[in-house]
Amino acid sequence: MNTSPQELLITHTYKEIDAIIAASNRIILGKEHAIRLALACLFARGHLLIEDLPGVGKTTLSHVLASSLGLGFQRIQFTSDLLPADILGVSIYSRETGAFSFHPGPIFAQVILADEINRATPRTQSALLEAMEEQQVTIEGETRLLPEPFFVIATQNPSHQVGTFPLPESQLDRFMMRIELGYPDSGAERELLMGSDRRELLKHIRPVIKPERLIEIQHLAGKIHASSALLDYLQDLLEYSRKSNEFQNGLSPRAGLAILHAAKSWALMEGHAEVLPEDIQSILPGVIGHRLHSLENLNTSSKGLANHLIKQVPIP
Amino acid sequence: MTESIVLERLSPARGDHASVSSLIRQRVYILPTRPGFLLCVAMFTMLLGAVNYNNSMAYILTFLLVSVFMVCMLHTYRNLAGLVISGAKVKPVFAGEMAGFPVIIDNRDGTPCPALKLVCHPSRKAKRAAQQSYQPVMVNLQASQWQQVEIPAPTINRGLLPLERVIISSCFPLGLFRAWSYIHLEEQCVVYPKPAGIDQFPAPVAAQEQGQEGVKSGANDFAGFRQYHPGDSIRNIAWKALAREQPLLVKRFSGDGSHTLMLAWEDVGHLPDIELRLSQLCRWILLAENQGWIYGLEIPGFQIDPAQGTLHKNRCLEALARYGIHHAD
Amino acid sequence: MQTESARSVDTLSLCWLTAGITLAILPHGLRMPVWLLPLTLALVLWRLGGGLKNWPLPDGKYWSLRILQLLIMIGGGMGVYISFHTLVGREAGSALLVLLAGFKILETRHERDFYIAAFLGFFVIVTNFFVSESITTAIYMLLTLLVMFTALITFNDHNQSLNSLTRIKTAGVLLLQAMPVMLVLFLLFPRINGPLWGMPQDAHAGLMGIDDVMEPGSISRLIHSNEVAFRVEFDGTPPENPKLYWRGPVLWYNDGRKWSRERVIGIEPAPLETAGTPVNYTITLEPTSQRWLFMLEMADKAPADSYFVNDYQLLAQEPVNKRIRYELSSYPEYALGKSNAYEIQRALQLPDNFHIRTIALAQSWANEETDAASIVNRALRMFNEQNFYYSLTPPLLTGDNVDDFLFDTRQGFCEHYAGAFVVLMRAAGIPARVIAGYQGISFNPVGNYYIVYQRDAHAWAEVWLDGRGWVRIDPTSAVAPERVQQGIAGALPEAIIDVPAVFGQIQLSRNMWQNLRNTWDAVNNQWNQWVISYGPDRQALLLKKFGMKEINLQLLAVILVIIAAIVFAVITVWLLRQYPPARDPARQLYDYFCRKLARIGIRRMPHEGPLDFAARVARKQGLLADIVNEITSLYVSVRYGSQVTKLAALKKKINAFQPEKILRIKTARS
């Protein structure tokens, strides 16, 4: 079998990514699938929303990702009194220079952890989300580009907790994926209890790749081949979600793009030179969980809903 | 979830239908049209001519027409057979408006189905009450294509309007046969009361407790712009910004919530008729939404806290529409 | 049911309809009175102008135009009556139908008019067949029908969601799918002989061919005709050319200018003694509208529905108005007739005051010679030795045509020689008569049969020789032996035989042309045999082939219904089968692969991706893991990696994949 340069590149990258996952796995125990999804989201230049109870390792996950990729990391704890300026930055008059100088906010980092995003007011939320969408911020008429790569991991407590402002659906759509971490299984839990402090371990993480390499990987992921047969399958999925009466709203075209991009990254992480229906099926729960809602049973989990969708649509 | 209907085909359908929810099989009927009967007469005359003159080509032409006639029947039947029909969410309307029942027709065959005709076929009673003709809808389906059409039906009273029996028919290709089938879809349209009444708003109530800033932006202090999202009050759109060819922006206010209304049953208690009361409440809700009020609704069997936005408005209106109606689900 | 008569006709459908009807009308134009076609086309054009350019049309808005329309209608009807002196019958009926179609188009506004106009169009097509049933007409009418159906499809495709090509294709598909049932109906529909009611007078118009009147020019006018007189199929090899005399009418009576048949007196056929081996053959005679049938001299038994008369003409019971087929066997050696005073007297008849010089010559021969045979020889010798010429274009004879020919012009065609010869014989006291018919054959290698063309028409003489009976003498052979030796083609200048000038003198191209003509005639022959002259006889023949000897109409009707129902059921199943959207070849192969795996109990779920499925197969049947993975990875790279080049490898692998065998071998090994 002769291999094309593209395939060689993919194999090489695939090994690199495996190393990143292995490194992360040492710290976050028993959450390999979540890590993979998060990475797929990152490679597809999407942003990630983690929704789970406090204390299951959301912060640790974002920390690990940033460190193992060698990226600048900023954590913003959202509270109800957080103002947009606290995130974006402010211009302050400097007496020495006699001019306004801009003090960039925490958003000017490569990886942002927006912790408990639903605790802030909608106004602050949208400041972050708009920056996220456009990859730039406009403050006092001046547009400033955000660094590249730029990756937001927002965490959100389950919406029924008190004192929260749930993100409206239109804002949720800006996250490529929403994942849940869930409780660790018993084996991982035991290891967690027996092992050393996770925060200590975090300090010792060495970056596996350089940020420039990450941009290359993002480029490569975009180039993974999606055949018309695969697009047929994706369209069937979208069509089913729109046509069937089981969901409140069908998947938007933006959701379709998100699925495709995420599936491409996933294919790269699996070492495939082309996107397969399996790749779509793997990332589907993460991508559609926050976009699709069952009409009948509001409590259906995103995973259940995605599985239902997968089961209903035959692969063409 | 409503079920889909598949129009029956003589040959057993392949398993691939099983993928889409449950399908109800519905028979397709077929009869010659008037031109079809006329052609039969013409063909008989031609046959007589052929026999009389013992003319082989006349025989051939006659028999060709006879067999085209037969094949045409199959084609017409095939236009309908195998179609999968399902309903979709019905958009609510106000009483007196035309309701549009969306129907999805799915052609899973590799052959096109042109000129399908759908028409509402109500019971005599409903027809008499409507005093309006039911307009047919024409649909052309390409091979393996589905399409959504709206079947219009007039509304008279508020409440729930069920979709009457729909006839789907086709005369394609030659118009010699008409195939038809009846579709019963368990769809219903929520018909809001007709907005009416001349009363003024009831007195606004005081602000509620803290923690609701998010929903009651509507008042005084200007707090910046944000992008427009569907559901935002039109009143708050920054028209000047729009005039400068900027994207659609909405003015945001941080207010104290003094524009809060509670629309209650007692406020319309003086009106003689339930429908009049509902109409008055309906008008108030529309006005309040339009003017950026934060409003709630309280009628027997239903109560909703003050809020704002299209979704909220629709919930209030639906409550009015369903007032006093026992529904099975 | 819902009535839709209010639906008006759109212009596009109207254009198709008028195109169809115009096509149906056009062939009539050549046969109808000159004013009819332009008038009809003008009506059609008027309606089209109304649709396309908003010309005023005769409807409620313009009552003056309605009156105009009415006037044209009455005028047209009267015109037809004046032209044909009747309003019924084939010709006049067709003319009225054409006119009616034009008026119907003019007043087409609504759905109902549209269909009526279309059905009128079908009738116009049928009337064309009463005039011509040739292959070209059939093809032309099929095209017309296609256009008509396209018109109907266009009209029923309310929003014009299909493009024109698709509509034409749909019409074609309808026609094609209708063919099987049409064939069954055509072959098995119980045929009955004869008309249901009286045939109109003009059902059979003038046909070209041998006549029962012979005068100078009556046979040579046929020489340019390449029309087929009849076709012959021989059992075995045909006799040589000089023996191929096809006997037609026997001409007895000479009025000084022309020879004619005289009323037949006796129907008792002359006795015939035959010798040698007979030649069996079948003749397919083109319609002649005459009663005589042609036969190779000399047949002994008359076929069904025909009989011999006393001068041994073969006559059919009815005039031959359709192509007929009959079988004969003929003996090349024969002796015909017996001494019959009345016949002898008739065979010596000469008109008064005609052929004076000829009679004088003959009488001088009679005085000089002793027996009849030497007089015959003397006459033939004269034709042979003196300067007589065989000519297609003899000079016009103005006076006594026998005297002028024998003594002045001395150029003539077979009818000149035959006529002059019989006059000479009669004048010399030898009973003689003229026989008209054909001489020679042309082989058609394509259809493996023989053709006798109209140009093979010939005339010869029979003389009564005591003790030998009626003996055939062909005076033409004395002048132009090649006519009899090689057939008419040998005697005629090349240009006469229908080879277009473009083919010039090059033998190869001439041969090609001949081949082409032969093929065309063979096709036509099949068409004639199986389509046009398909009737009760042919039907019985066909049924006999399938072992049904005795058939009555009821039984035939039952058979027809059963077979038609079976054929229609097959079409129904075929039409109503699911048309799955066109499948990707790789996907088809993969489905095949999955079916093979299903045989060993591993079924792919519809939503299961290929890798997942392969993994599951590997879990369930570890022995298959390698080959399944290999096939799956090939499939994935073809279907999802778009590497079409690997399709062949995938096909090979999947075709060779036999899960049961692998399992058996590997289990046995371990």
**Is the pLDDT assigned to residue C407 strictly greater than 50?**
yes
pLDDT at C559: 87
State the pLDDT confidence band at B23, using cuts at 50, 70 and 90.
Answer: very low
Question: Cβ(C49)–Cβ(C191) under 8 Å?
Answer: no
Query: pLDDT, tens digit, for every residue of B306-328?
Result: 777 776 788 888 888 888 876 54
- What is the set of domains in chain B, with CATH numbers? 4-28+81-192 (2.60.40.10), 221-321 (no CATH)
Instruction: Tell me where in chain A the CATH 1.10.8.80 domain(s) lie.
Output: 224-316
Choose, from C211, C311, C414, C521, the residue flagged as catalytic: C414
Based on DSSP, count helices (H) and strands (E) in chain A, helices before strands: 13, 9
**Residue B235, phi-psi category: left (phi > 0), alpha (psi -120 to 50), beta (remainder):** alpha
Nearest to B205 by CA among B128, B136, B262, B271: B262
A203: its two tokens = 């300090």
Query: pLDDT, tens digit, for every residue of C191-202?
Result: 876 556 655 544
State the pLDDT confidence band at B130, using cuts at 50, 70 and 90.
Answer: low
State the pLDDT confidence band at C498, using cuts at 50, 70 and 90.
Answer: low
Phi, psi of A91 (to 5 degrees): -100, 125
pLDDT at B1: 37
Mean pLDDT (whole number) for C159-175:
89
Residue in C closest to B35 by C-alpha: C115
Question: Cβ(A26)–Cβ(A35) under 8 Å?
Answer: no
Cβ neighbours of A116 (radius 10 Å): 18
**Is the pLDDT assigned to residue C490 strictly greater than 80?**
no
Residue in A closest to C644 by C-alpha: A227
pLDDT at C4: 43
Give me the residue from A163, A244, A314 closest to B16, CB to CB: A314
Phi, psi of C307 (to 5 degrees): -155, 165
Lowest mean pLDDT among A166-180, B83-97, C34-48, C199-213: C199-213
pLDDT, averaged across chain C? 84
Find chain C residues with C-beta within 8 A of A230's C-beta. 640
More confident residue, A120 or B68: B68
Only one residue has tokens 């399409």, namely: B147
pLDDT at A258: 92
Q: Which residues of C308-339 are buried (b: 16+ CB within 10 A; e: fewer)?
A: bbbbbbbbbeeebebbbbbebbbbbebbbbee
Give me the residue from A121, A170, A245 closest to B1, CB to CB: A245
Question: Cβ(B178)–Cβ(B82) under 8 Å?
Answer: no
More confident residue, C125 or C443: C125
Cβ contact (<8 Å) for A243 and B146? yes
* % pLDDT > 70, chain B: 70
Lowest mean pLDDT among A192-196, B42-46, C464-468: A192-196
pLDDT at C422: 92
pLDDT at C51: 83
The span from the first CA to the last CA of chain A, in angstroms, equals 28
Q: Which helix or strand (DSSP H or E) is residue C293 part of?
A: strand C292-293
Q: HSE of C484 in the Cβ direction (CA atoms, 13 Å)? A: 17
Mean pLDDT (whole number) for C68-81:
88
pLDDT at B132: 63
pLDDT at A212: 83
Q: Is C238 exposed, middle or buried (0-12, 13-18, 19+ CB in 10 A)?
A: middle
Three-state DSSP state, C436: strand
Share of chain B residues as helix, strand and coil, in percent rounded to the nearest 5? 30, 30, 40
Mean pLDDT (whole number) for C607-611:
88
Chain B residues whose C-beta is within 8 A of a chain A C-beta are 1-2, 16, 19-21, 86-89, 104, 106, 146, 211, 213-214, 223-224, 226-227, 229-230, 252
Give me the residue from A228, A275, A315 closest to C607, CB to CB: A315
Find chain A residues with C-beta within 8 A of C612's C-beta. 278, 281
Lowest mean pLDDT among A120-129, B54-63, B156-165, C212-221: C212-221
The superfamily CATH assigns to domain A224-316 is Magnesium chelatase subunit I, C-Terminal domain (1.10.8.80)
Nearest to A78 by CA among A114, A49, A131: A114
State the pLDDT confidence band at B72, using cuts at 50, 70 and 90.
Answer: very high
DSSP state of C624: G
Runs of H (alpha helix) within C578-646: 585-599, 610-620, 625-639
Q: Can you tell me the ipTM of this complex?
A: 0.85
Give me the residue from A225, A229, A315 closest to C606, CB to CB: A315
Active site residue C607: no
**Is the pLDDT assigned to residue C494 strictly greater than 60?**
no
Q: Which residues of chain A have pLDDT under 70?
A: 1-4, 159-163, 196-199, 296-300
Radius of gyration for chain A, computed over Cα atoms and rounded to the nearest angstrom: 20
pLDDT at C641: 82
pLDDT at A109: 86
Q: CA angle, C51 as apex, C50 and C54 as ends, to 5°?
A: 50
C466: its two tokens = 């005591």
- Flag whether residue A249 sits within 8 Å of chain B, measured between CB atoms: no
CATH classification of A23-222, choosing from 3.40.50.2000, 3.40.50.300, 3.90.1200.10, 3.30.43.10?
Answer: 3.40.50.300
Q: What is the dihedral of CA C413, C418, C420, C423, to 10 degrees?
A: -160
Mean pLDDT (whole number) for B195-213:
64
Active site residue C212: no
**Is the pLDDT assigned to residue C523 strictly greater than 60?**
yes
Q: C435 pairs with which residues across the strands?
A: C250, C460
Query: pLDDT, tens digit, for every residue of C636-647?
Result: 888 888 777 888
Query: pLDDT, tens digit, for every residue of B228-274?
Result: 655 556 666 667 666 666 666 666 554 444 467 888 888 888 888 88
pLDDT at B256: 45
Cβ contact (<8 Å) for A314 and C606? yes
pLDDT at C503: 60
pLDDT at B329: 41
Q: In whole angstroms, give the CA distance from residue A39 to residue A24.
A: 11
pLDDT at B35: 94
Count of A-C CB contacts under 8 Å: 49
Chains with at least 3 CB pairs less than 8 angstroms from chain A = B, C
Find chain C residues with C-beta within 8 A of A275's C-beta. 640
Phi, psi of B304 (to 5 degrees): -140, 140
Determine the distance from the C-alpha atom of residue C638 to the mean position of all C-alpha atoms in its chain, rounded to a whole number.
55
**Residue B67, phi-psi category: left (phi > 0), alpha (psi -120 to 50), beta (remainder):** alpha
**Is the pLDDT assigned to residue B8 strictly greater than 70?**
no
Interface of C with A in 601-660 (CB under 8 A): 605-612, 636-637, 639-642
pLDDT at A73: 84
pLDDT at B216: 42
**Is the pLDDT assigned to residue B221 strictly greater than 60?**
no
- A149: preceding bond cis by omega (within 30 degrees): yes
Question: Cβ(A280)–Cβ(C613) under 8 Å?
Answer: no
Phi, psi of A286 (to 5 degrees): -65, -40
Instruction: Tell me where in chain A the CATH 3.40.50.300 domain(s) lie.
Output: 23-222
Measured CA to CA in angstroms, residue B151 lies from B127, B135, C73 at distances of: 15, 8, 47
pLDDT at C491: 63
pLDDT at C22: 93
Active site residue C15: no
Q: At what angle do helices A228-243 and A253-269 cross, to 10 degrees?
A: 140
Mean pLDDT (whole number) for C580-603:
81
pLDDT at C493: 56
Find chain B residues with C-beta within 8 A of C178's C-beta. 64, 67-68, 70-71
